[in-house]
Amino acid sequence: MEENHIQNEIKNDTSVVNSSGEGLGESGQKRKKKKSHFGLGFVLGLLTCFLVFVILVLVLCIKGMVFLSAGKGLVDSEVTSKAETIRAYLDQYSIYDFTDEELKKGMLNGLLKGTGDKYAQYYTPEEIQALTRDYNGTIYGIGALIKQDESGAVFISGVYEDSPAEKAGIIAGDVIVAVDGESVEGLDRYDVVDKIRGDLGTKVVVTVNRDGKELEFTMNRGKIKKIDVEYKMATDTIGYIYIKDFDDVTTDQFADALATLKGQGMEDMILDLRSNTGGLLRVCVDIAQQLMPKGTIVSIENVGGKVKEYTCDGSREFSGRIVILTDGYTASASEILTGALRDSGKAISLGITTYGKGLVQDFYYLSDGSAIKFTTNQYFTPKGTAINEIGIEPDIELSFDYEAYLENETDNQIEAAIEYLEK
């Protein structure tokens, strides 16, 4: 916008000068034809010259003001000069391969990270399209949910039933270290996802770290329909629902699970939010409205202190009791749902303290189709609790017995939830 504004100013300046020049030429011709009007023509000529001079001075002042204004911007001549110098050093001495596009992306990400917002990020047009497909599309891949923890490790948070990943033996908790033999160290989860996805039927090799051992899995990419909700009857009267993500498909899938299990005799529910790192706020609210009594779901406060409340009218309240399973990867929208159900008295939680992401991010699209994401709001549970960097402590603390699960697929947290609901 600034550059276009300056160019328009220059074009307007040129038209003024040209118009004045033509007027001077015409004035000269008139002096030759009508010498008796020489004095009048001379005066008019002086006035015209004076007007041109004034206009030029004003134009130069305006241009100078625009230039000075631009110089006060974020990217001034000093920053540009330093960037080019750094790039020259990198070209000459860096042992890493990189492209101009990668450097530009890094600079834009650095601009966002300079705010201190650890959730801020820049997305290329391709990355934001891939993220959108994650929310609502059918994809070709291995059928695994991929997350990233605070340390930067990219891990498997779940696998789809009958997917290439499940058939190959990949399990939740596996940390991805390489794709097709290339290390993924330093990459974000979206880059890793892009490497794993590809054309239908093509081969991909994923290397994971599991309990300190590296395991390699070779799979053919398949057509994957996102399944964010899994469910079953845990006992004759207790239903089990596992929500993996809060995406566009989640609301309807959860409603189907709820109706199916009620039809099978569900009276109480185990709601599994382990390894669910969040997703779309509106989807989380939709699910809360299918479970909660009348009241507040969550309150969100923006930078100006304005508070917006999301509420439930209680018309679809679940009649039974709910036990929510949580772990250290239960975050963001999952914590909103956990806090809403607990504060309303509808549920208790079992497991370990949640991640502690009490902030909300928004996306803003740029002119070329790229986008930025940064934190715009802080949220509070219905009782006014801020959980950012604190998390939600469980009502019943119980760590997951990983060894028992590997040995005989026993889930001690689900068993504890069943025991609580059967009392």
Active site (catalytic) residues: 332, 343, 357
Say if residues 299 and 267 touch (Cβ distance below 8 Å). Answer: no
What is the Cβ-side half-sphere exposure of residue 220, based on CA atoms within 13 angstroms?
5
Number of C-beta neighbours around residue 210 at 10 A: 15
Tokens 């070329």 correspond to what residue?
368
Contacts with 164 (C-beta within 8 Å, 6 or more apart), sequence order: 141, 142, 143, 219, 220, 221, 222
- Cα distance between residue 162 and residue 168, in whole Å: 10
Strand 175-179 and strand 144-148: the pairing is: unpaired
Region label for 54, one of left (φ > 0), alpha (ψ between -120 and 50) or beta (otherwise): alpha
Contacts with 182 (C-beta within 8 Å, 6 or more apart), sequence order: 195
Amino acid at 411: D
CA distances from 80 to 71, 75, 261, 268, 304 (A): 11, 7, 61, 62, 33
Contacts with 214 (C-beta within 8 Å, 6 or more apart), sequence order: 177, 207, 208
How many helices, marked H, and strands, marked E, lie in the chain?
Answer: 12, 19
> Residue 237, Cα to own-chain centre: how many angstroms?
39
- Angle, vertex CA 253, rays to CA 258 and CA 388, nearest 5: 90
Angle between helices 333-343 and 281-289 (to 10 degrees): 30
Which residues make beta-bridge pairs with 224? 139
- Cα distance between residue 404 and residue 259, in whole Å: 32
